[in-house]
Each structure stands twice: as structure tokens, then as C-alpha cells.
A = this chain, B = another copy of it.
Amino acid sequence: MRVGGRVTKPNPVVIYTKIYIPRITISYIMKSFFNPKSVAIIGASENPKKLGHTVMKNFMDFDFTGNIYPVNPKADEILGKKCFKSVLDIKDPVDLAVVLVPSQFSNTVVLECTKKNIPAVVVITAGYRELGALGIAREQELKNIIRGTKTRVVGPNCIGLFDPFARTDTLFLPDYKLKRPPQGEIAFISQSGAFGAAVLDWAATEGIGISHFVSYGNRVDVDEIDLIRYFIKDKKTKAILLYIEGARNGRALYECIKKESMKKPIIILKAGKFQAGSKAASSHTGSLAGSYSVFKAAIKQSGAIEAETSEDMFDYARALAYQPRPKGKNIAVLTNGGGFGVLAADALEKYGFSIPQLSKGTINKIASIMPDYATIHNPIDIIGDADSNRYAVCLKALMNDTEIDAVIVCTLMQTSSLEPEIVDVLSNANEKKRKPLLVVSAGGEYTQILLKSLEKEGIPAYPSPERAVRSLKALYDSKK
């Protein structure tokens, strides 16, 4: 980035020339990464073993609607499309170039991209700073090439980006190995490509949608600040997830998050927390991990939410993207299986929430559909023979109860009496988004089908009470 905080406090290693590009231009350039009208695939190949083949094929198979231009000096046609020797041979404008050539050629092709004024370039090619001396020189050269041009670079040494709306997809892995998540509301920025890819694959299988994914690798140019700023303005994005090993400029990132986290929740997983992890991070993406305690305090002060584990990331992001913030700490637990209710109560108490007595009005409403012998208190155990109607009556009462700030529903989908209509009942209760509604449910294939339906309706479901309550805590702690 050549604007904003980092200009006044430059990175100690790399000195940026002060070139002021107007904000509106930057936004246009960033848009070219995620929503390009045309893409050049430099290093496209007919050979299925080459990354340039997979990326080209993915753009074609995933119905990317823009023009696709394969670039390879050795081919005339690739996958049925006319191949160009260089991007300079393409007459039409190109919004996005994906660079997949070996590292001895990658800087040269980026130079050609700058000459063609391609706004967005993703350099997948590895063999830069992470390699040692030779790579550092190559990376410096890349910086020099793009300096002062209108070309922005994501990478090098990265897996690039995925956008399920525009179908932009530079992930060089076939779909059978790495499933792509559906369209959703979470923007996911991962400094580590492989980590990001694994998490995306997991999210896809769980039916969790994303708005955008970026892995920027060695971060020669576009960094987390550029991306956060872009996603803050992006209408599809409701929450921003950041996996980071080390910030390029901690102070600037802090200032950015402090300003932007008022607008949308930002969740951060910091890797390289301690000495050993930090050392590992240094050789991984070549970044200095920095002091965790300083980082932790800064995350909190900036208004971001810290994910302590990799599972926290999407747990928190889903609560924050889908659900309103609770107005207070009084939580009702509703369950058809006592055990999970007990564990939820334990977790709520552990994380500082209250499980208040229910009002007489609410008790009476719930009692109306319960067997005579049942005593009604919070957690509300509507017993193993509960059907979806019993859930409906209870949820309506709890959603209307002004003394209850959020509802955790622990639903065992397996019981004989509970019909699949429980999904509609929960969706109806969630429709007005008056207060947070989080679901706990564990199980196998049948349960997971129902949970995916809930996910589509914007109701986050968690496999354990602990994870639901931690996510509720993240929601409570957010500035939303």
C-alpha cells in the first residue's frame, strides 16, 4: 500500500516511494482482483500435471463469465482457446493476470503486465524471499517492477484468490481434492495458503459460505490492510476473518482495524504466538511474528475479536456475520436432550453469562404445551419426545421475552419425535433477528443435512455447547 498510515512509518526493510493513488482508483484495482471482466492465465498448459492447466480448467469449469486468455509462448491453443505468446499480444484489455510460470520468468511476465496496464496480478509462482538470498533479490526486483505502475500484485508464493460470486478462482487444486465453499457473507484472508485452502475445503463440506478468499503469500504489495479496507466496503461481506503470522506494519494494521472494526466485525487468528511458533512462522512466510502479548492487547484494543484456535475462526465469524449482538448477558437454553443443556449451562457460567429464571408469562406459555408433570426452568428441557411444534411454542415465547438476551438451542435431531421441520421452526424464530439464536447439535449424516439447511438460513450451528457459548461471547464482545 502506498497510501495511509504506513507511508509515514515505513517498513524498516522496504522503503516505499510516496506515490499517492486516489482511493477510488485503489478500489477499482481491488475490484479487478475479485470481479475481473477478463483474465490472462500466464503459464496456462495442456499438461494436466501443471498448475497452469488446473487453474485454466477451473476458470472454464466454474463458469467464469468473463474472457479467458491463456498465455504461453509454446502453444497455439490451450483447452480450445487461442493462446497468446505474451499478455502484450492480447488486444483487448485484461483486468486480472494469474502468473504460474517458473520463477526465472515470473518477474519478466509481471513487467509485461505493467506495460499492458493490467490492474490486478496474482503471482502464484514460488521461489522468492522464502528461498533465501537469491529469492530476496528476486523479490526486490519484483517490487521495483511494479513501483509507480498501475499494477497491483497479490503474492508471490501464494494460492491467490477465490470469489464464489464472480467465480474468480486461482486455487490450483482440483475440485475433487479441494471443495469450493458456496456464496456467503464471510471474507477470509489467510497469510498461509495451504492453511487457508484446508479451511476452505472444510467450510465447503460444512455448507459454510464465503464472500471472498485471499491468500497473499509473501505480500510484496497487496496486504491485509488493503484487503480489510476493500471488504469493509464490499456489500456482500458481513464479517472479515484474518489468519496472520505477522503484520507488515503492526501499527498501521492496528489503526486500520481500530477504524474499520466499528463498521464490520473483524476476527483475527494470530499464528506464531510464542517463541517456537514464531520461529516457524519466520521461515514459513518470511515474516517476523512479533510479540504475542503485544499483539493480543492490540487486537482487543482495536475492537477486533481474537480467535484463539483455528476452529474459533469460522465459529466466531458465522455468529458475527449472521446474528445480532446480544443486548445483555441473560441467556435461555432450550433443549430436547438434557445432557447438552447441562453442558451449555456449564459453559455459559464459565464464560460469564447468566441463565436467569424465566418470567411467569414465559413459563405459562411453555407449560401450555408440556406434559403436566414437567417443571419448567432455564435451561428448558422439553424432553426427548419433543416435536417441532413444542420447539415452535417455546421459541416464540423466548423471542418475545424482553428479559432474555439470546437463545441457545441444543437440538438432538436423532429423536423419534422430532421431524425435519425443526429447520423451518428455527428459521421462523430467527427471521426477525431480534436476538441471537445459536444452535448446538452433534450427529452424523442425517443431522448434518439439517444443519446445512440451518446454515443457509443464517443460523450458526455448533458441534458442542462450549463452541456455541464461546461464539456467543465473541458476539457479545464485538462492537457491532
Contact B379 A342 (CB under 8 A): no
Chain B residues with CB under 8 Å of A271's CB are: 339, 342-343, 346
- The reply to whether B277 and A178 contact each other, CB–CB distance below 8 Å, is no
Tell me, in angstroms, the Cα distance from A446 to B201 when the chains sit together: 9
Q: A455 near B: Cβ within 8 Å?
A: no
Would you call B342 and A277 a contact (CB within 8 A)?
A: yes
- Separation of A196 and B340 alpha carbons in the complex (Å): 10
Any chain B CB within 8 A of the CB of A19? no
CB of A336, distance to nearest CB on chain B (Å): 7
Known: A416-B172, A444-B202. A311 touches B345 (CB 8 A): no
Of all chain B residues, the one with the shortest Cβ separation from A371 is B131
Please determine whether A448 and B276 come into contact, CB atoms closer than 8 angstroms: no
Q: Report whether B416 and A173 are in contact in the complex, using a CB–CB cutoff of 8 Å.
A: yes
Q: Which of A438-456 contact B (CB under 8 A)?
A: 441-448
Q: Which residues of B contact A373 (CB under 8 A)?
A: 131-132, 134-135
Closest partner residue, chain B, to A195 (CB atom): B339
Indicate whether A463 reaches chain B with its CB closer than 8 angstroms. Answer: yes
**Cβ contact of A338, chosen from B201, B275, B285, B289, cutoff 8 A:** B285
Residue A86 CB within 8 A of the other chain: no
CB-based contact A345/B195 at 8 Å: no
A384 at the interface (CB under 8 A from B): yes
Q: Which of B195, B199, B336 contacts A194 (CB 8 A)?
A: B336
- Give, as a whole number of angstroms, the nearest-CB distance from A147 to chain B: 26
- A284 contacts across to B, CB distance below 8 A: 338-339, 341-342, 381
Closest B residue, CB atoms, query A441 = B198
A201 to B177, CA, bound (A): 26
Distance A285 CA – B271 CA, assembled complex (angstroms): 42
Contact residues of A between 225 and 271, Cβ < 8 Å to B: 243, 245, 271
A176 contact set on B, CB distance < 8 A? 446
Integer count of this chain's copies in the complex:
2
Q: Contact check, A342 vs B192: say whether CB atoms are below 8 A apart.
A: yes
Q: Does A415 contact B (CB under 8 A)?
A: yes
A105 smallest CB distance to B (angstroms):
18
The answer to the question of A435 belonging to the interface, with a C-beta cut-off of 8 Å to chain B, is no
The answer to whether A338 and B280 have CB atoms under 8 Å apart is: yes
Cα distance A95–B279 in the bound complex, in angstroms: 62
Q: Is A209's CB within 8 Å of the partner chain B?
A: no
- Asked if A36 is an interface residue, CB under 8 A from chain B, the answer is no
As a 0/1 sequence over residues 357 to 394 of chain A, the CB contacts with chain B under 8 angstroms (1 = contact) are 00000000000000001010101010010000000000
9 new A-B contacts at CB < 8 Å, known A201-B443, A202-B463, A274-B345: A134-B373, A172-B416, A192-B342, A205-B445, A273-B346, A277-B344, A281-B342, A283-B338, A308-B466
What are 15 residue pairs bridging A and B, where the CB atoms are less than 8 Å apart in the complex? A132-B375, A178-B444, A190-B339, A194-B336, A194-B337, A274-B345, A276-B348, A280-B345, A280-B379, A283-B377, A283-B381, A284-B338, A284-B381, A309-B464, A310-B442
